[in-house]
Structure 1
Amino acid sequence: MKAHEVKKELQKSLLEAEVLDHVVVRWPQKEQPSSNSIWDEFGPVVRICDNRRVEVQESDAITITFVGCKKCSTPYSWTLSRGTQSLRKHNCPPKSVVASSSHSIVQWMVVKSCAAMCAVDMRPFAIVSGEGFQSLLQTVLDIGVASKNPIRIKDLLNDEVTVKRAAVKTYKTIRQVLIAKLQAHFQDKMVAGCTLDIWTEPLTSIAYMSVTMHYIDVDFKHNARTLQVDQFPEVSHTAVAILKTFKQCIIPFTGEFDSMNVPVKEQIRITTDHASNNCGEDGLPSEFQWNGCADHSISTCLSFVLDKRTSIVNGKKSKPYYQFYANAPAVFDMLDNCKALVTYVKRVGLNKQLTPKLKQAVATRWIATKELEAFKTPTLHLVTHWRKVLLEHCDIVDEERVVKDKDGVKVTLPPDSKDFLNIKDLIKYQILEKFMLTALHVATTYLDPRQKPIISELEIDDELQREAIAIIKSTMVQNSPPTLTIDDKRPVLATACNRHPRKRKRAAISVVFPCRCINDFSSNDNDDDQDDIDNVPNTATLEILVIAELQAYEAFTLSNAMSENNFSDSGSTVSKKRNQLKPSTVNILMFLRSNIDLTK
């Protein structure tokens, strides 16, 4: 047999077989290959039947000897000429339960205990797949393996008050670590994005305000850190009160303990929904760069037309009604009939015939909170595209058309009915009025190489395009890489070949960018701005922006991907089963949930 075939057989024998026919032993004192300390951990593999070493004669001069780790029995092929380098790279894998009949018994005991825990403590079955629960069990198992004496679990567990004190202590420790990280981030003139949301918990009528900061660190890793989920201190949720509370929250993390000065304000970008108290002139936009949530805009446009509303008539609240029912009665009747059908299916139990897979795929089910946290997916550059697609859906279709379904079958669609045309007109008007693009949206669209060639098809206002180009130009000038001087005294960029290796901490991406482009963008010539943008290589432009400005650009993307992600995150904690938690405790738990990795 060849060496690799022998190694496979040894792996099965040493690691998988219930009855071993090979074993790793110590080297005989006089036969140890050398005095190298590695042989304290490795020994030869021998056959149990004849106590002979497993060897393969590769040639007349080379004999391959198989050795194994004394702890985990992982086999390796070794020769004198190859040395021990491969052996030194070995790390023993964590020991798993050997697949045998005893394993099935142990596993069934754990399953029964988990089922009993869910029943006694009224916890969801999905708790067994939670990272925190598994980490707790792993810690207990490690303690049990390390202990030589039997341990009662009650001797390890403490009173709930002690656990809470530990949470508070951990919260204070992690908070100081996060403060140091963010203060260093802002001192380095880096930018960050913040999202905030306010809601009222229905059972206790306590108003909460959550603040999450998003930034890219020096290792080019995206971080989403919850700074607070605490009770809103003011009775009235005015724009001024929101601004004041937000500043009180982030001041410790910025290093400006007395007041927010101008430089720090310019480093923070805020994304919220379009509620009047969030975007009021005397609120957040008065001191910070503010960006509205695109998803919230889309939701507002649709709900304004399609949702029911109430009104006050003679001091009495009316029944819910459709404001635009007269424009499209067939459409609104269809909505009511669909709701009635869903209600009927639930009441008669037909929903039980749905497959469990289909029901579990719904992201809004309990313990599915993390599926809603889509803020790590960049979407800011897609807002212009989404708006264009929505407007295209509102175009009038006055003749039959043939399309293909997902299976490739051709389907003939009739022209739009009168009622549907009216609905399209209403929604289109709302989109044009409420779903407004900003220069930031257009700037990020320019930086997407897929959309740049079709930028003219997106029907973006000329003034917005000029503002977007100005943003890109100023960013490139302000954040150009450091220059060096070579023999001919021409300034050049620090590239991978001439940059000092110890000064590459921030260079997550090697930047090579022609100096003439920087000079062109910083000059006051009369060249067309669009031509300037077209002449800039896409990769180089992205690399320049990535180093400095993408921290804020990506921070904005979270609310453009999903509305009120902070609410879905924090609201699940303040649920019906947890409504008796004090607001301060909620704040501690949500902070730990978001920043627990800082303890590692």
Structure 2
Amino acid sequence: MKKHTIGCKSHSAVPSSTKPISTFFTVNVHNKSRTTRLAKHKLKKAIAECCILDSHPFALADGLGFQKVIHEAMSIGRSLGKSIPIETIIPNRPTVSREIDTMYTLRKNQFTKIIKSINRYSITVDFWTESHTGVSFGGVSLHCYFKTHGLKSMVLACREYDLPNSKSPNIRTFIEGILSDFDLTINENVYIVTDNEPKMKAAFREGVKRIGCSAHYVNKVIEHSLTNCNIGCDLIQQTFNQVKTIVSHIRQTHIQARLSLSINLFSKTRWNSAFQMIQDFLDMYSEINELLTSSDQKLRLISMDLDLLKEFTKYFVLFGNICPQLKDEFYNVLRDEIDGRQSLESKTHKPSAKLTTSSVTPKRKRTNLLSDCFDPDPSVEDIDDILDFWDKQQHIYPVLSSIAFDILVIPATNTSVERLFSTSAASITNKRTRLNAAKIDKSMFLKSNLTFLTTFHHVNTTDKSSTEKLVNKELYEIVDDSSSDAEDNETASSKNNNEDDIF
């Protein structure tokens, strides 16, 4: 067969007179659409049964992971058919757990190679303590720009904080340890976004450019006024807690499904959530009064001072109005700064008096550098992405574009890490009591970066054949590892496997 293949490649292709098989039959469009409808009906029934039997939410089919499973199942079904029972190829819990470790190692190595080519990036740092177990986690995210993918926010770690105390030197050591795992270092050219707690300020005071989270102070002011005692706000705090209790009851008893609008719940990490919750509550007050059936909640609603609550919302309006004002002030400062530099440039580059007007090459008049950069130009196409714009203007404004890249990759807040903690909290449930902190760290890294790493791999790979060979090599190495099957069977039969115990 090998000699035959070599012989075929050595001869040029000759047009064949043999008719293809497609000429002897026609595709019945009606039968094809009927087959598709039948397959959709079977899959719909199977997903509904899955949600019922395994207590999954109805949005199970919306997840990318579930769609990936269906795609792989269809591919396996085409190759195997019904010859092999499905029970023989479905992995058990320990096998899936070990596969996450393998995926984390491969994707982490790929991630480390990718970020070596990055010149400008910023880092976001924050800490969180799980309420039930008391385990503290440190979250770190990386923000950078790719020409093919744009601005990206990627999770580096959601790691258990295992140092003796939370003093600033230990915090600095902990963060540097995470960055060193990805061959990253902290230096004076790196911006780190943290909250404005004293220990965070002290940890990143030297050798790095620390930027405080813009929403942290606002969060603290609102949290202080709503939760702290002995500050003279007892009546307002009592009213706010009543609203929060009623809204929590509405969400837990599924009354919200019968409301014309959904009501948001207060969150300490979102400064505008308190205002949004109270505003939604006032808008839905008449509907809530009709739908509430609990006598306790009904009494709490009736005894509430609505006039005080309406006056209380005026307090939050001030915080909502300050954001556009700060935005306008920022652009005004930026415009004044560039105008000042432009005027300085015009003073330092005046033409010599000895030169006549005829000997000077006529130049386009530059009235304002800011307008020169951003005003519409017929020769430049409209670009919505500001980073993409500066990437295409590097040859015209090399210094200014470099400054733009340094600044624009810095996030205004540390919400990327806050979202990471929210996702981690959703993973630590009462049904996952054997999930340890190391597995959470690996799962959060993969959840945040897996789609990007897969896309980056396909977009930036030019030699498709070599890529397929590498993937097949890794696949066959895993399949040929016969020792893992015996280990899986042995582990599955054991009822006291505690490799993941922590919670």
Query: TM-score interval w.r.t. the shorter chain?
Result: 0.5 to 0.7
2:146 alignment partner, one of 201, 206, 217: 217
Aligned CA RMSD, in angstroms, stands at 4.9
Pairing 1:514-525 to 2, within 5 Å after superposition: none
Equivalent AA in structure 2 for residue 248 of structure 1: G
Is 2:179 aligned against 1:274?
no
Identity %: 17
**Where do 5+ consecutive residues of structure 1 fail to align?**
1-33, 49-71, 75-95, 311-320, 366-371, 375-385, 391-416, 447-454, 477-513, 518-530
2:216 alignment partner, one of 274, 277, 296: 296
Shift of 1:276: 2.5
Pairing 1:331-480 to 2, within 5 Å after superposition: 335=240, 338-339=243-244, 341-342=246-247, 350-351=255-256, 353-354=258-259, 358-359=261-262, 445-446=330-331, 455=332
Equivalent AA in structure 1 for residue 423 of structure 2: D
| Cα distance change, pair 419–347 in 1 and its aligned pair in 2 (3 A) | closer
Is 2:127 aligned against 1:198?
yes
Looking at structure 2, the residues matched to 153 and 35 of structure 1 have their Cα atoms a distance apart, in angstroms, of 45
**What is the aligned partner in structure 2 of residue 233 from structure 1?**
162
| Cα distance change, pair 533–584 in 1 and its aligned pair in 2 (3 A) | same
Q: Is the 8 A contact 2:144 2:153 kept in 1?
A: yes
Equivalent AA in structure 1 for residue 228 of structure 2: R
| Cα distance change, pair 176–350 in 1 and its aligned pair in 2 (3 A) | closer
Shift of 1:165: 2.0
Equivalent AA in structure 2 for residue 231 of structure 1: E
| Cα distance change, pair 586–219 in 1 and its aligned pair in 2 (3 A) | same
Is 2:50 aligned against 1:117?
yes
Looking at structure 2, the residues matched to 553 and 564 of structure 1 have their Cα atoms a distance apart, in angstroms, of 22
| Cα distance change, pair 98–267 in 1 and its aligned pair in 2 (3 A) | farther
Shift of 1:231: 0.5
Pairing 1:505-584 to 2, within 5 Å after superposition: 534=370, 536-538=372-374, 542=390, 543=393, 544=397, 547-557=401-411, 559=413, 564-584=418-438
1:159-202 Cα distance to aligned partner (Å, 9 max, x none): 322222222122111111111111222xxxx2101112211112
**Secondary structure of 1:177's partner?**
helix
**Secondary structure of 1:299's partner?**
helix
1:22-61 Cα distance to aligned partner (Å, 9 max, x none): xxxxxxxxxxxx9768998797799x8xxxxxxxxxxxxx
| Cα distance change, pair 576–536 in 1 and its aligned pair in 2 (3 A) | farther
Looking at structure 1, the residues matched to 315 and 18 of structure 2 have their Cα atoms a distance apart, in angstroms, of 80
**What is the aligned partner in structure 2 of residue 287 from structure 1?**
207
**What is the aligned partner in structure 1 of residue 299 from structure 2?**
none
* Aligned positions, number: 369
Q: Is the 8 A contact 2:129 2:136 kept in 1?
A: yes
Higher RCO, Cα 8 Å, sep 6+? 2
| Cα distance change, pair 345–585 in 1 and its aligned pair in 2 (3 A) | closer
Looking at structure 2, the residues matched to 592 and 152 of structure 1 have their Cα atoms a distance apart, in angstroms, of 30
| Cα distance change, pair 465–182 in 1 and its aligned pair in 2 (3 A) | same
Shift of 1:124: 2.4
Looking at structure 2, the residues matched to 472 and 565 of structure 1 have their Cα atoms a distance apart, in angstroms, of 39
TM-score, normalization: structure 2? 0.59
Looking at structure 2, the residues matched to 239 and 363 of structure 1 have their Cα atoms a distance apart, in angstroms, of 33
Is 2:242 aligned against 1:309?
no
Normalized per residue, the structure richer in strand is 1
Q: Give the greater-gyration-radius structure (CA).
A: 1
**Secondary structure of 1:277's partner?**
helix
| Cα distance change, pair 42–231 in 1 and its aligned pair in 2 (3 A) | same
Looking at structure 2, the residues matched to 290 and 155 of structure 1 have their Cα atoms a distance apart, in angstroms, of 54
**Where do 5+ consecutive residues of structure 2 fail to align?**
1-12, 276-306, 346-362, 381-388, 458-503
1:325 alignment partner, one of 219, 226, 233: 233
Equivalent AA in structure 2 for residue 286 of structure 1: E
1:163 alignment partner, one of 87, 91, 96: 96
Looking at structure 1, the residues matched to 239 and 157 of structure 2 have their Cα atoms a distance apart, in angstroms, of 43
